[in-house]
Structure formats: C-alpha cells, structure tokens
Chains A and B, each alone.
Chain A
C-alpha cells in the first residue's frame, strides 16, 4: 500500500520517564531466584505522569523538530492501552497542549501494542490523499502488568510521536506499508480489569512471529526489496529476544536490529515500543538509508513500513530531542517506590 501522493515524516519525538527499576529487583520481590545473564531495566512513570503526559511531551518534541504551525495539523491520533480516561479521548488533551485544536481530528486508537502504527497508516493516507497538509500519530503507554507476572519484569513506560507531511519536506519518505491482521487472542485485558492476561507461549509462534513475518513478507514482495536493501530494521520489542529472532528468520542480521531494541534500558513500552525504536533508528540514520518498521499488536496484527531517509534529515533532526537524551536520564528506584508510583498500594 502507498498513497498516490508521496508522503514522509517531517518530524518525530519521543519521551521516556526518568525512573528505572532493575528487573533483578522485581525478581527479588517475587521469586528471589537466579536471574539470567544480562541486566535489564524498565522505565517507570513518576507519580505525576500517565499516558497523556507522556504523549504530550513526545508530541511537543515532534513539533519542536518539525517546526510547523500546529493549526496545520488536521489529525492528532494517539494509540494506547493505558488510557487515563476510559471514556474521553486522550488525544484531545494532547492536541490542546500543542495548540492543534479545534480544526483537527483527534482520536484514541486501540490495538494492543500497535495502534500507533495503525494511526500512522491512516495519517499517511490522510496526507497522501491531499486532505491534510500534516497529520500527527503516535503511541504511548504506561504498560500494565499483574504484580509478579512475567510481564512485570519489563513493562515500561514511554511513547513517540510522528508528524506526516508531504515528501518534499520530509526527513524520511514512505515507500510502502502493509498490514496483516487475524483474530488471535494471545493477549488481552477485559473491560474494567487493571491487568492484562496472556497465553504465555501462545504469544510467540502463532502470534508475534507469524504476524510480523507475514506483514514484512508482504512488504518485501510488494516493494521488491530484500533484507539487504535495508540499513536498519525495527521490530516491535516485547523483550530482547523476540525482535532478534524474528529478524533472523526474515534474514536481517543482528547488527541492523539490535541497536534499536530498547527493552534492556526501558522495558516494553507497549504502544510506544516499535515507535520509540523507529525514532532511535532515525536518530542514527543517514541520507539514503532505508529503514524497515514492523509493529505487532496482540489480537492480532502487524503493520510493516519501509522508509527512505532524505538529505534533510540532519538539519531537521538537529532541532529535536534525541531518544538518547531520555535513555541517559535515569533515576533508579526500588520495588517499594515503584509500587507506590504505579498505584499498586491500596490507599482507599
């Protein structure tokens, strides 16, 4: 799939909260067992942060890079599975904060961890059809996990935002995008429940791997590209191993993938994960580089994208805030403080 009119990314920005907890600390509380080799941390939102505040800062950083007038945004779309309000859009809060209202479409998207890339496809279509000069899309989460669950070792917090515009102004131009979606209940959260449930090993082969392989396979077919055509490849990253494994099965070598796997530093940021990976890849990219993005959302589906970086990247990128700036800003906390910040202590 590609729009009639060429479309690209004119600005992007990410945000990661300051607090970190060591996975070993989570293990200490629940299992106190020997941990596998390699340290791993996850980002924890502060007591005054939530998905809306994360999305706002990511959106501000994208606007700072794009340097466009906010009234020209015709859409502000954010995807999340941790909405501060169950009913009432988070996107209107974000859009209001960046001054994009009232002549904009604002909506929250939901597809487990991939609503941000769905919104990206829609934003591409909106700009590509000529309906909008610019459209913003993004994903952010304060990822939920049942205390003690395997998920709790790495459910992080963070988000990223992208502004789509005409190719001539872009730092990276879209070549094509595909989607592959089935009805696969590998991971879900029922209405009113605080924590998600998952099918353990069922989340692997028939879910994550099958859908990403299918979406990327279709993208390669459609564009005639091969893994060798890409400088970097970014995959949804629920953990450190899955993206490397799916990359290998598709023929992408580790060095094209690993630098953009942030899970050992910030954990799995759910709707923010693939997009923060893409932002990190764009931070590293040079003109002419091709970048593959493949998201994954339980339920289940994957959206794949191919971007080519333009000559403009250095100038545009220099106005923004690198993901590294947030990766390097850390404050370690223990499980007790984490439990407090995440509202896991019963107060009322």
Chain B
C-alpha cells in the first residue's frame, strides 16, 4: 500500500496546483522542488485553470497493472491554457471520438485503487468541455 505517496500529491492531483518560480516566473505542473530554468528553490503555489487542448491521443487496449479495468481508454498529451504539456487520460468520451485540438477540462476521477483493501487514488483526468445548455 502506498498511502503516503498518493497523500503527498493531493494538491496537484485534486486541485491542479502547480508552482510558479519566484525567480523567473516559470510555471510548472505538477510541483517542482528546484527551478530547472533558473535554479531558484522558492516557489509560489500556482493554481492551474484546468482547461486545455488535445495535442495527440491514443486508444489504449493493453494497460499496465491497476488500469486494466478501464480499457479501452484514451491516453493523451494535452496543452494546458498556461502552456504546459501534460500526459493525461481523457474520459467521458468514446476514445475514437477524441480529436486533435479538442477542448478539454479537468475532472477528478478514480484513477486506480490498490486492490480491495488499499487506498483509492483520486486525481485529474480531462473530459471534453461540457456543452452548457
């Protein structure tokens, strides 16, 4: 069981919190410890808006352990509004309907559960922007 491991990532997993470098302003998601651009080690919490566009997507049929129950699912690289590229799953859509440039928004989902007795990992996925009526 990896309880502490998912616990320490909750701010980024549940709220899409990243960091903004106090030295050069570089945004990072998820959080970093040292700025790879300027070497600064002090950061502000930066709240990402949770909106982005699909750059490339794939329908996955053979998954790693803990993800088998979700196949077929869509794995993608998206570009967040803030310019960050992120590897994420796209949910609430038939994988074949995911297109390049599709606008997506963050949702919180059950990513994986470690067996019947382990902790449940809740974290971000992205879904096509809901059409608000």
Contacts and interface: CB of A to CB of B under 8 A. Distances in A.
Interface residues of A, number: 26
A264 to B, nearest CB: 18
A32 interface: no
A76 to B, nearest CB: 13
Given A18-B92, A84-B120, A97-B14, A57 B132 contact: no
Interface in B8-28: 10, 14-15
Interface of A is mostly: loop
Contacts of B94: 331
B46 to A, nearest CB: 13
Interface string A270-303: 0000000000000000000000000000000000
A48 B109 contact: yes
Contact of A324 (B14, B92, B108, B133): B133
Contact of A53 (B70, B109, B116): B109
Given A85-B120, A97-B14, A331-B94, A321 B132 contact: yes
A250 interface: no
A321 B110 contact: no
A206 interface: no
A52 B110 contact: yes
A71 to B, nearest CB: 13
B86 to A, nearest CB: 17
Given A48-B91, A57-B107, A57-B108, A96 B15 contact: yes
B92 to A, nearest CB: 5
Contacts of B110: 48-50, 52-53, 84
A84 B113 CA distance: 11
A229 interface: no
Given A47-B69, A48-B109, A53-B107, A93 B122 contact: yes
B120 A56 contact: no
A329 B116 CA distance: 31
A93 B14 contact: yes
7 contacts: A48-B70, A48-B110, A48-B111, A56-B108, A321-B132, A322-B132, A331-B94
Interface of A: 18, 46-50, 52-53, 56-57, 84-85, 93, 96-97, 99, 321-322, 324-326, 328-329, 331, 347-348
Given A48-B109, A348-B116, 17 more contacts: A18-B92, A48-B91, A48-B110, A52-B120, A52-B122, A53-B108, A53-B109, A56-B122, A96-B15, A97-B14, A97-B108, A97-B122, A99-B15, A325-B130, A325-B131, A325-B132, A329-B131
Question: 8 smallest A-B Cβ distances: which pairs?
Answer: A48-B109, A97-B14, A324-B133, A325-B133, A56-B108, A325-B132, A48-B110, A18-B92
